[in-house]
Amino acid sequence: MVSEDAVIIRLLKFLLSHPWCDPLLRRISPVAGFRILTFHRVLPDETQPGDYRLLLGNPTAAQFESLIVELTRRFHIRPLSELVDRAPSWDGEFALGISFDDGYADVARIAAPILLRHGVPFTVFLTTAFLDGEIPWFSRLFAFAHSADLRADSLWLPEGVRWDENSPSSLRTSLARYLNRMDTKRIHEMLDELETRNPWYRPPTDLRNLEAFMTWDDVRRLQCSPLVTWGSHTVTHPNVTALEPLRLEEELRLSRHRIEHETGRECDLIAYPGGYYESRIAGAVRDAGYRAGFVMREGINRRVLDPYAIRRHYVPTDLPGALLKVYGLSRQRPR
Ligand SMILES: [Zn+2]
């Protein structure tokens, strides 16, 4: 039995794949406001199916390029700084922004050449400790939750962490939720404990390679293009709403200073790690020198009341699914 929704989605996907339907799609396109798309990585085309980095929803180079080609054909893609400037009183046509979080090496090596080839502006939100060599806590978590040796009957988990034993992604999300209540140092201690108490688990020896980050030289090389801008994604990628005021101030201020020192450019945009944000921290973000902040929430930004809570969201990796999302015809998929 196929649901009505599934039939409509199939019909829309069919329409999206045929250029002669463009006039119809133009009629249903959003007319005003802006939408910002978020990515983390763009993987090599030869990445093996089943690789956890694909399961996390990252596109391959071919998927990403076909999306960029379609987006440039259908919409105006503008730099994030311009969208932020115009946000309080958006007056024009619908526009898109493109952003990346964390600062993975494949953004410099795979995504950037594609975007520059098509003349598309983009912003990369850098987590400065990752560029300085720290392995992200969530990389350790992903590798653990998607380990080929994962066996529910011999698994030790912290008290209160529940998951569906048939779904490693549910283990990943419940552990991430549990860990996101803590500061980064404590998270790494918890992951040490998780690894010790699950002696069957062997962390991948090539984790640093699987989770490679840009170098500051990559950053400087890329910024030769006026299409590239940088933002902060904090120093160590904590949930900023869970930090003590002094630690919050440190994460906000030191990351901005580090990026400005390395690039020689002003850095006044921030994307909150994990999208965690509460309006009570807006003052701290402003005092640390930022003029706008980005949350993880689906939707079009029309009248932006809080410049520290501008919406961004993911799109699916398949082209019709991604276009449906940009046209506002499908809901956020959990990830
Ligand atoms: Zn992030």
* Domain residue spans of the chain: 32-134+211-326, 137-207
> pLDDT digit string (tens) for 184-232?
999 999 999 999 999 999 988 888 888 999 999 999 999 999 999 999 9
Query: Is 333 or 308 the better-scoring residue by pLDDT?
Result: 308
Q: Is 266 in a helix, a strand, or coil? A: coil
User: Is residue 26 very low, low, confident or very high in pLDDT (cuts 50, 70, 90)?
Assistant: low
Place of tokens 């807006």: 282
**Residues 95, 76: contact at Cβ < 8 Å?**
yes
User: In terms of Cα–Cα distance, which of 61, 177, 42 is closest to 99?
Assistant: 42
Give the range among 217-226, 283-292, 303-312 with minimum mean pLDDT.
303-312
Average pLDDT, the chain: 90
CA atoms within 13 A on the CB side of 289: 17
Q: What is the mean pLDDT of residues 291-310?
A: 92
Distance 91 CA to ligand 1 centre (A): 31
Measured in Å, residue 7 CA sits from the centre of ligand 1 at 35
Distance 233 CA to ligand 1 centre (A): 7
What length is written for the chain?
335
**pLDDT given at position 335:** 41
* Gap from CA of 212 to ligand 1 centroid (Å): 14
Among 16, 17, 110, 20, which residue's Cα sits nearest to residue 59?
Answer: 110
pLDDT given at position 333: 47
Rounded to the nearest whole angstrom, what is the distance from the C-alpha of residue 330 to the centroid of ligand 1? Answer: 24
Whole-angstrom Cα distance, residue 210 to residue 190? 22
* 124 burial via Cβ count (<10 Å: 0-12, 13-18, 19+): buried
Quickly state the pLDDT bin for 4 (edges 50, 70, 90).
low
- Interval 245-271: pLDDT, tens: 999 999 999 999 999 999 999 999 999
- Does residue 45 carry a pLDDT above 90? yes
Position 35 scores a pLDDT of 95
Which letter does DSSP use for residue 60 in this model?
A: B
Q: What predicted TM-score, i.e. pTM, was given to this entire model?
A: 0.91
- The model's pLDDT over 232-247, given as tens digits with 9 standing for 90+, comes to 999 999 999 999 999 9
| Contact partners, residue 11, CB within 8 Å, separation at least 6 | none
Q: How far is the CA of 76 from the centre of ligand 1 (A)?
A: 26
CB 163 within 8 A of CB 267: no
- In this prediction, residue 334 carries a pLDDT of 41
CA of 54 to the centre of ligand 1 (A): 16
* Triad 300, 331, 60: Cα angle to 5°: 90
Range 96-115 average pLDDT: 98
In angstroms, rounded to a whole number, what is the distance separating the alpha carbons of residues 120 and 240?
30
What CATH superfamily is the domain 32-134+211-326?
Answer: Glycoside hydrolase/deacetylase (3.20.20.370)
d(CA 36, CA 34): 7
CA 197 / ligand 1 centre spacing (Å): 27
In this predicted structure, what is the pLDDT of residue 328? 83
Predicted confidence band of residue 2 (pLDDT cuts 50, 70, 90)? low
- In the prediction, which pLDDT does 217 show? 97
Band of residue 150 on the pLDDT scale cut at 50, 70, 90: confident
Range of lowest pLDDT (75-84, 194-203, 325-334): 325-334
Ligand 1 centre to CA of 153 (Å) is 31
CA of residue 102 to ligand 1 center, whole Å: 5
Which pLDDT score, from 0 to 100, does residue 302 have?
Answer: 86
Range with the poorest average pLDDT among 86-90, 93-97, 117-121, 169-173: 86-90
Tell me, in angstroms, the distance from the centre of ligand 1 to residue 127's CA. 8
Which residues have a beta carbon within 5 Å of ligand 1, which is an ion?
101-102, 273
Say yes or no to pLDDT of 17 above 80. Answer: no
Compute, in angstroms, the gap from residue 165 CA to the centroid of ligand 1: 26
CA–centroid distance, 80 to ligand 1, in Å, is 17
How far does the centroid of ligand 1 lie from the alpha carbon of residue 211, in Å?
13
Both tokens assigned to 158: 């912290």
CA of 101 to the centre of ligand 1 (A): 5
Q: Among residues 180, 146, 35, 58, which one has the least CA distance to residue 110?
A: 58
Q: Reply yes or no on whether the pLDDT at 95 is more than 50.
A: yes
Torsion of CA 30, 31, 34, 37, to 10 degrees: 30
Are 311 and 301 in contact, with CB atoms under 8 Å apart? yes
